Structure 1
Amino acid sequence: MSEVVHAYAAPKAGAPLEPFEYDAGPLADNQVEVAVTHCGICHSDLSMIENEWGMSAFPLVPGHEASGAIVKMGSQVKGLKIGQRVGVGWQSGSCMSCSHCLGGDHNLCSDSAATIVGHHGGFADKVRCDWQFVVPLPDALSAADVGPLFCGGVTVFNPMLQYGVLPTHRIGVIGIGGLGHMALQFANKWGCEVTAFTSSDSKREEAKKLGAHNVVNSRDSDAMGKLKGSLDFVLSTVNVSLDWPVILDTLAPKGKLLLVGAVLDPIPVSAMALIMPQRSIGGSPIGSPTTIAKMLDFCARHEISPQIETFPMSKVNDALEHLKAGKARYRIVLENDLAG
């Protein structure tokens, strides 16, 4: 049976999004169909629209921070029900048979499927994915707020689990933006002492309200020098090059620098700066469905939510321009007003 989906799509790389309809075809046995009520906009959506990564297929329906309710389920779906509130993130499927999947690290599967790579996403009235990759929403979380957690939120939550952050740790967060503003909240509620790094003094008070105990201007060499050897974990959420030796110097022995912002330039590092104090540098992608569920429960328990601005989905191009201009504070969420 055909299934017409109403959406907004980029007809070619860099083009404004246009109204678009497509036939989703029969629902696979292992899939669910979600009626989208809200969908966040991520910088990854912009990258896909511009085909910056060389893997976009057009017409492209972006959107991988979708929330809504299940309206259809295939015959093999387990543990879910029609009408249940769920969210869909970047990943929409995996092989379910490799050692990573069987070990619970579905996000590391080399044969995974992405919601907007060769697949139409959530800037639409409906979106589909494998049932294992929809995550039920706690009652305490609103559909409008929850979308950005499915990409930006889990991107900063996952490394805190994977790299063993403890409540006794002193944590630094670089960048008070779409990712960083959520990282500050997570780290504070985790029980850590939190230092926010920002190049803008105008964000000082806001960073404190979000959970930072200390705020340091990353361009102030004296202030940075006072942090030497004091932080157990530094999470960099920015995608620009920094003075990496200075950042490394803030780490205590056995300290870790974790990158979740995609810096395009190589990062120059002195081997001795790592060897002698036993420091390390790592990276982290999105999290597995189980990690996303844990993050949602953590948010519900501690009343954590992203700061959002909303636009009607029909004004998606205005929303994208708002994001491109760097005006988003701090995540943009589209509200579905499409006529299905």
Structure 2
Amino acid sequence: MPTVHAYAATEAKGELEPFEYELGDLEPDQVDIKVESCGICHSDVSMLDNDWGISAYPLVPGHEVTGTIDAVGESVTYVSPGDRVGLGWHSQYCMTCDQCMQGHHNRCANAVGTIVGHHGGFADRVRAQAAAVTKIPDGLDAAEVGPMLCGGVTVFNPMLTKRLSPTARVGVIGIGGLGHMALMFANAWGCHVTAFTSSGPKMDEAKKLGAHETINSRDDDAIEAAAGQFDMLLSTVNVNLNWSLFLKTLRPDGRLHFLGAVTDPVELDLMPMIFGDLSAGASPVGSPATIRTMLDFAQRHQITPVTEHFPMSKVNDAMEHLREGNARYRIVLDRD
């Protein structure tokens, strides 16, 4: 039985410390991944702090894993030892519910999160169901792919599933870990892209990342001036804004789509939505098929997230860097 060397917190908001555990016998549909890199997502912070009330300790974070297959269960044929693979938010699906059978595994009510009741990728090894693992295309740098397996597919998913037109005008609210990838994907999709940010330096950076225009997200007059411009707004922030003001920037049949985890109630004016035939919604990460499509798209357009790398032994320094809001734009831990 393999021994995993990991980093875990034993209490909410605690430091990550060396932690070992035994994996047990490999199930027929499972694989073991030898971890090479693992991105840090803000969801890792939320789980460490038990912000959502679902954390269990000791908790090993990390759900943006890249590495190589080290062992496969007897029924696994999709991947083989040595294959470069990635693992995102989910580590297992039930495979029998209507959502799974229709290809919407990301909606499976019985899916197991990679860091929810399961030890994640801040480790030298992680175990998962083979169906949750994705091969990494040869044209992508595996060390940079991790952030796309959660953050990247989160912003890519609505572009694909909501059938975003390549001629659409898209606004991205918040240019951070999610938003900067939304700019790159939407630009490569063919859209006219506008970045909403309150940061002066990020306005210049946003244009380098794919934005054609920028708007100060704290300037109500500037937002008002954009009335009726957008087919879709992708909100990547985790705080409440004046959403009814943002609704005014949508064209008829436009959509305000939430991707950031806003935990407080969201207020929207219904009447403008009725008269403009507008919609608001949200979505989780993508299915395994959507992740594959995203990686193929990223390879074709040579899209990679902007990352900063830390050795995994410096995980607490990396977490503090993220907590302080200094990450540009995603942090990746490399196993040392």
TM-score range, shorter chain: over 0.9
Question: Match for residue 205 of structure 1?
Answer: 204
Q: Could you report, residue by residue, the CA deviation over 1:146-205 in whole angstroms, capped at 9, with x for unpaired residues?
A: 000000000000011111101110000000000000000000000000010011122111
**Structure 2: which amino acid aligns with 1:73?**
V
Question: Match for residue 78 of structure 1?
Answer: 77
Give secondary structure in 1 for the equivalent of 2:276: coil
Question: Match for residue 114 of structure 1?
Answer: 113
Q: Could you report, residue by residue, the CA deviation over 1:16-45 in whole angstroms, capped at 9, with x for unpaired residues?
A: 010111011111111000000000001111
Deviation, structure 1 residue 220: 2.1
For 2:79 and 2:143, how far apart are their aligned partners in 1?
A: 21
Question: Match for residue 252 of structure 1?
Answer: 251
Question: Match for residue 190 of structure 1?
Answer: 189
C-alpha RMSD of the superposition? 0.8
Question: Match for residue 298 of structure 2?
Answer: 299
Question: Match for residue 129 of structure 2?
Answer: 130
Question: Counterparts of 1:226-241 in structure 2 under 5 Å?
Answer: 226-241=225-240
Matched, 1:46 2:45: yes
Q: Could you report, residue by residue, the CA deviation over 1:46-81 in whole angstroms, capped at 9, with x for unpaired residues?
A: 111111111111111110000000010001112211
Question: Match for residue 100 of structure 1?
Answer: 99
Deviation, structure 1 residue 275: 0.5
Give secondary structure in 1 for the equivalent of 2:119: coil
Give secondary structure in 1 for the equivalent of 2:322: helix
For 1:164 and 1:100, how far apart are their aligned partners in 2?
A: 19
**Structure 2: which amino acid aligns with 1:68?**
G
Deviation, structure 1 residue 269: 1.5
Deviation, structure 1 residue 303: 0.6
**Structure 2: which amino acid aligns with 1:220?**
D
Number of aligned residue pairs: give it: 336
The answer to whether the 8 Å contact 2:30/2:130 transfers is: yes
Give TM-score scaled by structure 2 length. Answer: 0.99
For 2:276 and 2:270, how far apart are their aligned partners in 1?
A: 11
Give TM-score scaled by structure 1 length. Answer: 0.98
Deviation, structure 1 residue 221: 2.7
Q: Could you report, residue by residue, the CA deviation over 1:260-286 in whole angstroms, capped at 9, with x for unpaired residues?
A: 011122222122111001000000100
Which runs of 5 or more residues in structure 1 are unaligned? none
Q: Could you report, residue by residue, the CA deviation over 1:104-152 in whole angstroms, capped at 9, with x for unpaired residues?
A: 0000010111111111110000001000010000111112100000000
Give secondary structure in 2 for the equivalent of 1:276: helix
**Structure 2: which amino acid aligns with 1:29?**
P
Matched, 1:31 2:30: yes
Question: Match for residue 261 of structure 2?
Answer: 262
Question: Match for residue 54 of structure 2?
Answer: 55
Identity of aligned residues (%): 59
Question: Match for residue 322 of structure 2?
Answer: 323
Question: Match for residue 162 of structure 2?
Answer: 163
The answer to whether the 8 Å contact 2:78/2:130 transfers is: no
For 2:204 and 2:78, how far apart are their aligned partners in 1?
A: 44
Question: Counterparts of 1:137-152 in structure 2 under 5 Å?
Answer: 137-152=136-151
Deviation, structure 1 residue 215: 0.4
Question: Match for residue 309 of structure 1?
Answer: 308
For 1:67 and 1:230, how far apart are their aligned partners in 2?
A: 39
For 1:38 and 1:278, how far apart are their aligned partners in 2?
A: 44
**Structure 1: which amino acid aligns with 2:36?**
T
Deviation, structure 1 residue 244: 1.0
Question: Match for residue 154 of structure 1?
Answer: 153
Give secondary structure in 1 for the equivalent of 2:19: strand
Matched, 1:285 2:284: yes
Runs of 4+ in structure 1 deviating by more than 6 angstroms, as ranges, are: none
Which runs of 5 or more residues in structure 2 are unaligned? none
Give secondary structure in 2 for the equivalent of 1:81: coil
The answer to whether the 8 Å contact 2:29/2:75 transfers is: yes
Give secondary structure in 2 for the equivalent of 1:72: strand
**Structure 2: which amino acid aligns with 1:46?**
V
Question: Match for residue 243 of structure 1?
Answer: 242
For 2:75 and 2:282, how far apart are their aligned partners in 1?
A: 35
